[in-house]
Structure 1
């Protein structure tokens, strides 16, 4: 992105899960994306992740919601590994950035992939180690290594410096290597329905909020081409459940299912699903 950005206030959002603080979402007209403001300094950003309910950093199955999450997660993991294996014509060198508790890498290893991963959260890393998955803290650990496939499953929205991250991804990819980015889509029906209560805004942990145009433009500037966009249909139900909790104080499963279903049905025509998987290739 250019240093001179054309920004306007899109909405005010509250951190519903940790601090209760309010943040602005600024609309970048040139890139068709939202930016969380103010962005917490790196030295305090970690405190916004300090919650036992931050589900990607735990393997907890305490509630019906968490149990359902892990059932869907198991199915999705197989689909994700099938996707990367098809793109690469079989297993190869895989780097998963923001690997959480390591479950995607566990599944990829079963399929024959040579696996590597990064995760900054110490609690998540310990859980990954129990599954015999060793994770680096950051990608700078891989100075002399290139990868066939790099994945970021709902991670790009968290990175403090977006431009530097994209440059680093290009450095790490082999020629013609594939990059898989999964992020929420603020143009979906469920985002519009829940407005400032939409759980996938998740301020200030989510610093960037992408559209299809923004992904295509950001990466093409670094000679990484968007090849295809795929839907993540389960996300509309998961996000709607959390959004119901933020909006009404409880998880209304029936209401959330209905909103999630409507979002997917409308996306058949609009092509704006709750979350997208972007398949990109280094040029």
Structure 2
């Protein structure tokens, strides 16, 4: 049977760097969206050159950024809690897209042999100032023959950024121990806040986000690689954070109260539907 044709879903603007317009195109078979046109890989770094890209800068200039980091400290502890729950015996951990290294600091302090990969030069420099040395590319890990070496691999809001989705998942499968656990956090375009803000929804973040997932999409994509989702964990703070940015894109103002109400409503609806603004997927090899 022929694969169903892709269909147009939305037009979105890059509000962070370029102001360019991009299309979101639906893959009917996998129930996901992709950004079109996707920038050439050598041009992608240009779309990250902004002081507003907070995960690469550790910026604390505004009330919004200070609140972000306050919530981030709590979220880091929660992520570690999830990992320890799935992996009672601490081993080697790989954080892909490690940003400025904060999660690795928390994991190392808890006894994990934590390593990280981060392609952004300024983020790696900031991590090094904290005592964390990050590799630039996953190829460096493969050169050291780390097949099946990692008890846990984490991608916190990273999978949506990778140019070659299936190559990335294939690499994850090779690096992960047979009984190991993969943690993938991504936005969910089926959430209430996504449906409300439509093209202004900040988690589309084109063209940095090349892929846009639903829970069904994550399950289908990883199933193609003989991996299975065993659990979904909601990221409830994301509904508020994304709504704040979406309000700014839509109206030019943060509108804290309106964004808070929208985020609360999104989480309330997701309590029954499961369609949270962002979700963490706990994934294992299919035959374990």
TM-score range (shorter-chain normalised) is: over 0.9
How far the C-alpha of 1:5 sits from its partner, in A, is 5.5
Which residue of structure 2 lines up, in the alignment, with residue 89 of structure 1? 88
Secondary structure of 2:42's counterpart equals: helix
Residue in structure 2 matching 1:150, options 146, 153, 174: 153
Q: CA deviation at 1:125?
A: 0.3
Name the structure 2 match of 1:71: 70
Task: String of CA shifts for 1:170-193, please: whole Å, max 9, x gaps.
Answer: 011011211000000000000011
CA distance in 1, matches of 2:55, 2:62: 15
Which residue in 2 is equivalent to 1:188?
191
TM-score, length basis structure 1:
0.98
Aligned equivalent of 1:9: 8
Equivalent runs, 1:1-283 vs 2, <5 Å: 6-143=5-142, 144-145=145-146, 146-283=149-286
SS at match of 2:29: coil
Offset of 1:251 from its aligned partner? Answer: 0.6
Question: Does the CA-based 8 Å contact 2:3-2:29 persist in structure 1?
Answer: no
**Distance in structure 2 (CA, Å) of the matches to 1:3 and 1:227:** 30
CA deviation digits over 1:110-164, x for unaligned, max 9?
1100011000001000110111111001111112121000000000000000011
Q: Deviations over 1:10-35 (max 9, x none)?
A: 01111111111100000110000001
Q: Gaps (5+ residues) in structure 1? A: none
Report the Cα distance in structure 2 between the residues aligned to 1:3 and 1:177, rounded to whole angstroms: 35
Task: State the SS of the aligned residue for 2:236.
Answer: coil
For the residue of structure 1 that corresponds to 2:61, the secondary structure is coil
Note the alpha carbon deviations across 1:18-67, whole angstroms, 9 max, x for none: 11110000011000000100000011111111100001001111100000
Cα separation, 1, equivalents of 2:229 and 2:20:
35
Secondary structure of the residue aligned to 1:169 is helix
Q: Distance in 1 between matches of 2:3 and 2:15?
A: 31
* C-alpha distance 38-4 of structure 1, shift in aligned 2 (>3 A): farther
- For the residues of structure 1 that align with 2:49 and 2:122, how far apart are their CA atoms? 10
* Runs of 4 or more above 3 Å deviation: 2-5
Q: RMSD of the TM alignment (CA)? A: 1.2
